[in-house]
């Protein structure tokens, strides 16, 4: 019996004894009810109870009828994810290092991005995936960007297949676009997750090609993390992700502002941030949104989690790229974990993209904190990347 089942059984036993009321969603369809709200008791009691409450929320449920109603838009829907809660998620979904496993089983990640002006961002995302523990990391970029990205690391598999407008004649655009799509799609079903956007730029022809790639990835049921210029693309064409439960959007302050204005037709409301994020995720159709900020808010339109453990005051560029690569790896691992529990005949309504976002946010913040402790104002994105492996090892030892 897995840890999740043991915790649920223990929790239900305690609740029956207390004669209180609990409501949670079982396999996203049925509701089980008991009597009274235990949130204050759970939060003020032992860490085991607090993790049980976190598990209920992650399953897509609520601790009581009142909080179920809050999930419909009443302020207060956010759930603070403590460091212990987040580390529990990381420990569960991180695969063991087993000698019987073969190359690729720990994750195959691809980054779609990289153009003449921006070569660092796709590298940061792709190398972060490897540093966390993915087996293979690919980058699909423009021909101008490829030699530069290749020179950063021999560990990355670089595909110089994307094209920008300046290199394509008008009468060739249709055929070139089809060729780009063909070059990417012959690989895409091999990947456990793709990252769209780091270093992509905003060339219209290139963005059109990437739109086609996103559509194919969605049809192939490939999880997708969308960041940077990928968010610019999505904000102008929401149908690319509308209703896509395996998509994660990772907006920063300005990107989130544009999303809220486009989708909700209003300004960002920081006084009721959790409820507004919940509404935004629902309106887009259940995508997972990781709103980056002083604390990271994560919602899939069902739950809202707040990752607020301390990171770093040093805001060097590139940390968002680390996050997108990290979320991609952890989301693919979360899918493996959920698939394994289903094979063991354990019902699960866990959202792998939410779990991956919680894990990715937590690990980045921990690595950034450790890097800043050593480098202070001189901290660079590459310093944070070098601490990813150690931080994961501290949370989930390899042996």
Does the annotation place 230 within a ligand binding site?
no
Does the annotation place 242 within a ligand binding site?
no
Does the annotation place 9 within a ligand binding site?
no
Does the annotation place 292 within a ligand binding site?
yes
Burial (Cβ within 10 Å: 0-12, 13-18, ≥19) of residue 355: buried
Does the annotation place 311 within a ligand binding site?
yes
Q: What are 31's two structure tokens?
A: 């509701």
| 91 vs 102: CA distance, rounded Å | 21
Tell me the C-alpha to C-alpha distance, in Å, between residue 146 and each of 27, 127, 152, 157: 44, 15, 10, 10
Which sign, positive or negative, has the C-alpha torsion 72, 342, 326, 370? Answer: positive
Does the annotation place 239 within a ligand binding site?
no
Looking up tokens 């970029």 gives 141
Residue in 336, 337, 353 with CA at minimum distance from that of residue 223:
353
Does the annotation place 295 within a ligand binding site?
yes
Does the annotation place 219 within a ligand binding site?
no
Instruction: Write out the H or E segment, with its range, that includes residue 195.
Output: strand 193-196
Termini Cα distance of the chain: 21
Q: Write the DSSP string, 125-148.
A: HHHHHHHHT-SEEEEEEETTTHHH
Looking up tokens 């992509």 gives 200
Tell me the C-alpha to C-alpha distance, in Å, between residue 299 and each of 86, 158, 342: 15, 33, 23
Check if the beta carbon of residue 135 is closer than 8 Å to that of residue 108: yes
Residue in 86, 87, 82, 39 with CA at minimum distance from that of residue 62:
39
Does the annotation place 253 within a ligand binding site?
yes
Does the annotation place 103 within a ligand binding site?
no
Does the annotation place 251 within a ligand binding site?
no
Does the annotation place 318 within a ligand binding site?
yes
Using the 8-state DSSP alphabet, how is residue 24 labeled?
E
Does the annotation place 319 within a ligand binding site?
yes
Residue 294: what are its φ and ψ, rounded to 5°?
Answer: -55, -40
Does the annotation place 176 within a ligand binding site?
no
Looking up tokens 């709103």 gives 291
Check if the beta carbon of residue 256 is closer than 8 Å to that of residue 228: no
Length reported for the chain: 399
Does the annotation place 373 within a ligand binding site?
no
* Annotated binding-site positions for ATP: 292-296, 311-320
* Annotated binding-site positions: 199, 252-258, 292-296, 311-321
* Annotated binding-site positions for (6S)-NADPHX: 199, 252-258, 321
């Amino acid at each position: 019996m897995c840890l999740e089942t043991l915790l649920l059984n223990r929790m239900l036993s305690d609740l029956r004894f207390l004669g209180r009321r609990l409501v949670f969603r079982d396999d996203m369809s049925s509701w089980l009810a008991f009597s009274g709200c235990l949130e204050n008791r759970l939060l003020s009691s032992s860490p085991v109870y607090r993790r049980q409450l976190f598990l209920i929320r992650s399953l897509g449920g609520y601790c009581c009828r009142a909080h179920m109603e809050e999930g419909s838009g009443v302020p207060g829907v956010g759930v603070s994810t403590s460091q212990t809660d987040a580390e529990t998620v990381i420990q569960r979904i991180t695969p063991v290092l087993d000698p019987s496993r073969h190359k690729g089983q720990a994750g195959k990640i691809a980054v779609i991005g990289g153009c003449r002006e921006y070569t660092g961002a796709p590298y940061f995302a792709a190398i972060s995936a490897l540093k966390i523990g993915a087996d293979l990391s690919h980058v699909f970029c423009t021909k101008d960007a490829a030699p530069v990205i290749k020179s950063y690391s021999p560990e990355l598999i670089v595909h110089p297949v994307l094209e920008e407008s300046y290199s394509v004649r008008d009468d060739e655009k249709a055929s070139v676009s089809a060729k780009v799509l063909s070059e990417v799609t012959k690989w895409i079903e091999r990947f456990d997750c793709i990252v769209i956007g780091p270093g992509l730029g905003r060339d219209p022809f290139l963005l059109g090609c990437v739109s086609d790639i996103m559509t194919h990835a969605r049809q192939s049921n490939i999880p997708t993390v969308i960041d940077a210029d990928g968010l610019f693309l999505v904000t102008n064409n929401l149908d690319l992700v509308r209703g896509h439960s395996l998509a994660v959007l990772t907006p920063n302050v300005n990107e989130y502002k544009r999303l809220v204005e486009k989708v909700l037709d209003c300004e960002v409301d920081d006084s009721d941030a959790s409820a507004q994020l919940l509404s935004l995720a629902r309106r887009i159709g259940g995508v997972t949104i990781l709103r980056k900020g002083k604390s990271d808010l994560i919602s899939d339109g069902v739950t809202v989690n707040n990752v607020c453990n301390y990171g770093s005051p040093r805001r060097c560029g590139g940390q968002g790229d680390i996050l997108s690569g990290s979320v991609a790896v952890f989301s693919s691992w979360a899918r493996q974990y959920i698939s394994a529990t289903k094979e063991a005949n354990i019902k699960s309504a866990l959202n792998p993209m939410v779990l991956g976002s919680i894990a990715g946010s937590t690990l980045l913040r921990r690595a950034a904190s450790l890097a800043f402790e050593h480098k202070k104002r001189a901290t660079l994105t590459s310093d944070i990347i070098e601490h990813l492996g150690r931080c994961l090892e501290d949370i989930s030892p390899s042996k």
